Structure 1
Amino acid sequence: MKRGQHFVGVALAAAAVIGATSLFGNDYYFRIIFMMCVYYMCAAGMNVLVGFAGQKSLGQAGLFAAGAYSVALLTSRTDISPWLALVAAAAISGVCGVLIALPSLRVKGPYLAMVTLAFGIVVEKLVGEWTDVFGGAQGIYGIRPITWNGQPLTTQQWVWFGVVLCAVTHLLLRNLLNGRFGRALLSLQADEIASASVGVRVYRAKVIAFVVAAVTCGIAGALVAQQNQYINSDFITFHLSIFILLLVLFGGSGSMYGPLVGTIVLTSIDAALARWPSAQHFLYGFLLLFALYVMPNGVTGVLNSLFKRRAKVVPAKAATQSKPTRIGPDASGDLLEVEGVTKAYGGVKPAQDVSFRLKRGHIHALIGPNGAGKSTMINMLTGVVKPSSGSIKFLGEEISDTPAHQICRMGMGRTFQNLRLFSELSVLDNVMLGRHTRMTNGFLPSLMAMPGATKQEVITRDRALQLLELVDLAHLAHQPAGSLPYGLQRRAELARALATEPQLLLLDEPAAGLNPQETAELGQLLLRIGKCGVSILMVEHHMDLVMSVSDHVIVLDYGIKIAEGKPVDVQCNPRVVEAYLGVDEEAEPVEALVAA
């Protein structure tokens, strides 16, 4: 659905809810709907963190407390406007999100959940026992509510405000997640190494996800405090963190509508079982296990799978220009200089004092027997692995200690020996992710869907389709990347690497797993890419491919460079023959190397 149509749909839905609440005056139902709005705010931000970035958090109750107690202290002890206090509470919660993210993101998986859980428990104990500031169980009274025309909002008006706030939150997060930042966050939970290789700043993206979750949860806490005009430690429990996580997992993490479905269903159940707290806790535990094991994609995931079975695949529209004329710049000279590079893992040295230079406009090959250190060298060049010593200069700049995303931004793209596609994303989204560093729209323009951000999306999409045409995959643009045959996945990964607009493209065994026909087609494709202004360094075992397309060959054996030069010269080199065949040079014709 287009952005304008979606905006109209959300506005009509919000108006319908507001209109429906005007028909009844029962405060009990108003309270339930208001709490749905509160929980949706928590769940929508949590969905960004869990569903998109893949970071499990059990500390949302602490962020809820940050917003609630911030607005409570500001309005009860100062003369600040309640509206400004609400904004300040959101900002304070965002800062707390950063403070949680910085130490938490040094760990992964269950350890991350434990760190966030510890934060939630610390906050729970803090507000419960530091009575001089937070009031403990007695709480803080006299919290000034939001006013309109000088009068505090009625219960019905609080519902209206909550509905409008939820609609705005949904629209803003949709703007953010359906573009550059959404793709970046989805790439994190798929493969962080591949994400960094296409220019995503992994740590920064995770922090952004934490901040978004913190801000929305803090606003929710502030709304509860101001609507009740009272807050105490009973609101801040571990049960709240579990409930917020359950809203996302049950509704469907990673879906824009999952938090809404989870909120409506579970808040209704919560209200129905309010008289039986023990039954509530049992049901939450059961639903959490049910969502994790039986329905891992939640309610919306089940519904989406049903609709997808009936949906027809829509072919991608051709880009305005069928073939990209240029990818790399038209220049000459040395592109990469490697001097005395060594990598040691204890006593094992996959690279020992290796030196070579790569020239612009050439296709270079890095070959050698298994265990020669070829992939280690590629990983050092792209910043995945740091060399123990030596110098690596790209475009005249030292990059031996430069992070992978920055090297990508400088103009070095890569593929991997073992496929690292984002298999759940479409082929088109994979390639669009490759242009992450080439897009100039920042966080706020993306959040607000400013014209510049929209234009960047259009340019990126057109360029991605051009590159898919280059590798003959345009007709499969909307297919999940993981559903393609292996050979086509190799091409999709190559298109993603080309989308980074590289001056130097590093290919780690691009022909691995391909049949002879596919290997021959790959060779022709590499020649076409070379004509687009991209210099290539490929690690490859298919000697027929190496000898047919390479201008320059470098040979490693046990981490030592034993030869380099033109393909004809290298295949006649006695040391190369011995390294591959394990015999003296006089005993075996050198032509056997070609068939190796």
Structure 2
Amino acid sequence: MTGERKHYIGLTLFVALAAVVPLSTDNDFYLRVLFLIGVNYIAAAGMNVLVGYTGQKSLGHAGLFAVGAYTTALLTTRWGWNPWPAFAAAGVMAGLFGIVIALPALRVKGPALAMVTIGFGIVVEKIVSEWQDVFAGQQGIYGVLPLSLGGAMFSSKHWVWFVLLLGVTLHVMLRLLLRGRFGRAFMAVNTAEVAAESVGISVYRFKVLAFVISAVTCGLAGALIAQQNQYINSDFITFNLSVFILLMVLFGGPSIYGPLLGAVVLTLLDAFLSRWPSVQHFTYGALLLFALYAMPDGLAGFLRKISRKWAPSLLSPEPLPGQLAPWRPRGQGNGEEMLLEAEGLYKAYGGVVPTNNVDIRIRAGHVHSLIGPNGAGKTTLLNILSGIVPPDRGKIRFGGGDVTGLPPHRIARAGLGRTFQNLKLFTGMSVLDNVKLGLHANIPTGFFGSLVGSGGQAEKAARDEALQILDALGLRDKAQEIAGSLPYGVQRRLELARALATHPRLLLLDEPAAGLNPQETQELVQVILRIRDMGITVLLIEHHMDLVMAVSDHVIVLDYGQKIAEGTPEQVQNDPRVIAAYLGAEDTMEQEDEEGGVYVP
């Protein structure tokens, strides 16, 4: 049985059980608790995208809850809206406020981001408390129209069934979204932002999107509370609510099922402790610390560990297809064109100038090597070419277009792929998903298509192509292993596979042989030559001169940020300026006298 079938069978059983529960009781308190579990899940499910998947902490979502609640309250009581359009408008308005928060908030990270969101929550709380003419403060707004069917207002049981239907719909849509290209992109942003940009993912846009998703679900949760109570006041909008929403996600764990676990456990605990508010607040704080430090994977992670031990069949990986055709890159140019031309590149950090008026020309179909002593500015030059570091001056033309100053994800989408001197894998994801992330820009499924599951064929095609790339680099047998668990040499090859998946016209390799043993280095030589034979142009930084001489058609030498020589490997190897840069002038003269020639190490 496939994982998809297991999931939908389990979901059907859960829905059937949950739908029957309201029939077994007329106790309004029990029905109210069930309703609150559903509302809290809806708020936490969107928050999970922001916190659990994208890694952005927010402590101001009570403000977004208030936006949804007061939107539906004002529309139904003062402007006479039908409660159904008012409910939908609450989600839209909260989403707009999510953008308003995200744009300034995401200029900062970590604790500073949390402080900005706290500020938003406090501002909203003060507005609804103090602006009496509009929001009525603690007195509140009465007469909020509840949802109804056929002219009959929802009963307590109807509210439970409605929130169950809404929660299940939200779960299915978010699961489809997060299991595809958008979910991988969110996790990539969380793990390594620079690497995410290098495969064509706009980090800023995905952070904003995560904020909007969390805002919409939080706004809908606020609307549900206002319409079910037929009343809303400022007492609902407190900092404790923001903590509670965040705690549900952290305690449940960064999983599609985590928000449900968190909502069930914490809603029941909240109902139990409601008689003792001081104990309630202390418990929230203690659980928050516990979730952050003692159980970082939450209840979902704990249950996953138990399942691996006692019921491994529940977590069995999806079967992969058999033999596939060899992988070939798309859209490569011919060997006559000048693929990249950079003129007068200059970058200074105070008095340090790692790139000093460098000109560079890269011809399609060749392997170009960039060498020089430590500190010569090689990696800085690669970072400038790939958009990670903007030049202070100079021009870069790539593929016939000016890419100077463009963000890294746009340069990556133009056909420039790269690896990094210090590995930047998405270590918590599988090998297969790492390579799928390289294919991100080539998967045509959009946001709304992902929500409704219309990208199934595109996902299968991406999986097959990722397997073809892994097969080409001898990594197919590692496809379902976690990237961070692989040996270092295999991780190096995986990063190269991910870069190839972007379908680069130009591939930048920053010391790909660093940390490899001699056998792995020799294998890398053959891999680079195969990549060149596929029509992919390579610009390589490397200190292993045997590797450089074996693969290079053209060598460029930097020293103290300046280009001092270029030409064929033989020409560069015998250039006096290169010899002096590596060995020093005095040492060079001594070796020439003793040996009658010099070999660049």
TM-score when normalising by structure 2: 0.96
Q: Which residue is 2:158 aligned to?
A: 157
| Partner residue of 1:445 out of 410, 432, 449 | 449
1:125-524 equivalences under 5 Å are: 125-252=126-253, 254-309=254-309, 311=312, 317-318=320-321, 320-332=323-335, 333-450=337-454, 453-524=455-526
Specify every segment of 5 or more residues in structure 1 that has no aligned partner in the other structure, as ranges: none
Please list the CA deviations of residues 143-181 of structure 1 after superposition, one character each: whole Å capped at 9, or x if unmatched. Answer: 111111111000110000011110001001001100000
Contact 1:327 1:533 in 2 (8 A): no
Residue 314 to residue 15, structure 1, CA distance change in 2 (3 Å): closer
Q: 2:391 aligns to what SS in structure 1?
A: coil
What secondary structure sits across from 2:361 in the alignment? strand
Summarize the Cα distance change of 1:4–1:303 in structure 2 as closer, same or farther, 3 Å threshold: closer
| Aligned residue among 537, 540, 543 for 1:538 | 540
Tell me which residue corresponds to 1:573: 575
Q: CA deviation at 1:321?
A: 2.5
Alpha carbons of 1:561 and 1:319: their partners in 2 closer, same or farther (altered >3 Å)? farther
**Structure 1 equivalent of residue 591 of structure 2:** 588
Q: Deviations over 1:29-67 (max 9, x none)?
A: 000000001100111011000000000000110000000
- Are residues 226 and 436 of structure 1, via their aligned partners in 2, closer, same or farther at CA, if it must alter by over 3 Å? same
Which residue identity lines up with residue 509 of structure 2 in the other structure?
L
Query: 1:431 aligns to what SS in structure 2?
Result: helix
Q: What's the offset of the Cα at 1:12?
A: 3.2
Q: Deviations over 1:428-460 (max 9, x none)?
A: 11110011111121111011111xx11111111
Q: Work out the CA distance in 2 between the residues paired with 1:459 and 1:13.
A: 32
Q: Measure the CA separation in 2 of the matches of 1:429 and 1:319.
A: 18
CA contact (8 A) 2:345 2:355 kept: yes
* SS class of match (1:344): strand
CA contact (8 A) 2:329 2:503 kept: no
Q: Distance in 1 between matches of 2:317 and 2:83?
A: 50
Q: Give the conservation status (yes or no) of the 8 Å contact 1:62–1:119.
A: yes
Moved more, 326-335 or 313-322: 313-322
- Over aligned residue pairs, what C-alpha RMSD do you find? 1.5
Larger deviation, residues 276-285 vs 488-497: 276-285
The code of the aligned residue for 1:384 comes to: I
**Cα shift at 1:322:** 4.1
Structure 2 vs 1, CA of residues 469 and 309 (structure 1 numbering), >3 Å: closer, same or farther? farther
The alignment of Structure 1 onto Structure 2 pairs a total of residues equal to: 592
* Letter aligned with residue 324 of structure 1: W
Local SS of the residue matching 2:296? coil
SS in 2 for 1:401: coil
SS at the partner of 1:22?
helix
**Amino acid in structure 2 at the alignment position of 1:360:** A
Equivalent in the alignment of 2:33: 32
* CA distance in structure 1 between the aligned counterparts of 2:60 and 2:256, rounded to whole angstroms: 22
Q: CA deviation at 1:306?
A: 2.9
> 1:505 is paired with a residue of what secondary structure?
strand
Does structure 2 conserve the Cα–Cα contact (< 8 Å) formed by 1:270 and 1:280?
A: yes
- Indicate if the aligned counterparts of 2:333 and 2:505 stay in contact, CA closer than 8 A: no
Kept in 1: contact 2:139–2:233 (CA 8 A): yes
Question: Residue 556 of structure 2 corresponds to which residue in structure 1?
Answer: 554
* Distance across 2 between alignment mates of 1:22 and 1:111: 48
Task: Give the 3-state SS of the residue equivalent to 2:585 in structure 1.
Answer: coil
Equivalent residue letter for 1:96: F
How far apart in 1 are the matches of 2:168 and 2:52?
19
Q: Deviations over 1:388-413 (max 9, x none)?
A: 11111101111111110000000000
2:421 partner amino acid = Q
Q: TM-score, normalised by structure 1?
A: 0.97
Counterpart residue identity of residue 59, structure 2: L
State how far apart, in whole Å, the 2-side matches of 1:246 and 1:315 are: 32
In structure 1, how many angstroms separate the alpha carbons of the residues matched to 2:424 and 2:185? 15
1:7, 1:96 → 2: CA distance? 34
Question: Alpha carbons of 1:331 and 1:566: their partners in 2 closer, same or farther (altered >3 Å)?
Answer: same
Distance of 1:400 and 1:319 partners within structure 2: 43
Partner amino acid, structure 2, of 1:261 = L
Report if aligned partners of 1:124, 1:233 keep a CA contact under 8 Å in 2.
Answer: yes
> Aligned partners of 1:20, 1:301: CA distance in 2, in Å?
28
Distance 2:144 2:291 in 1: 38
Cα deviation, residue 278, structure 1: 0.9
1:9 offset after TM fit, Å? Answer: 3.2
Q: In the aligned structure 2, how far is the partner of 1:317 from the partner of 1:78?
A: 56
Q: Structure 2: how far apart are the matches of 1:131 and 1:347?
A: 58
Q: Distance in 1 between matches of 2:473 and 2:599?
A: 30
Q: Quick one: structure 1 residues 227 and 478, their matched pair in 2 at CA, closer, same or farther if it must change by over 3 Å? A: same
Match of 2:24, SS state, is coil
Following TM superposition, by how much is the alpha carbon of 1:309 offset from its aligned partner in structure 2, in angstroms?
A: 4.6
Moved more, 324-333 or 88-97: 324-333
Contact preservation (8 Å) 2:574, 2:598: no
Give the distance between the partners of 1:319 and 1:192, measured in 2 at CA: 33
Letter in 2 for 1:458: K
Deviation at residue 241 of structure 1 after TM alignment: 0.5
* Aligned residue identity for 2:570: V
Check whether the contact 1:45–1:214 (CA below 8 A) recurs between aligned residues. yes
Given that 2:365 and 2:537 are in contact with CA atoms closer than 8 Å, whether structure 1 keeps it comes out as yes
Contact 1:68-1:222 within 8 A present in 2 as well:
yes
Specify the SS of the correspondent of 1:593. coil
Provide the C-alpha distance between the structure 2 equivalents of 1:351 and 1:94, rounded to a whole number of angstroms: 44
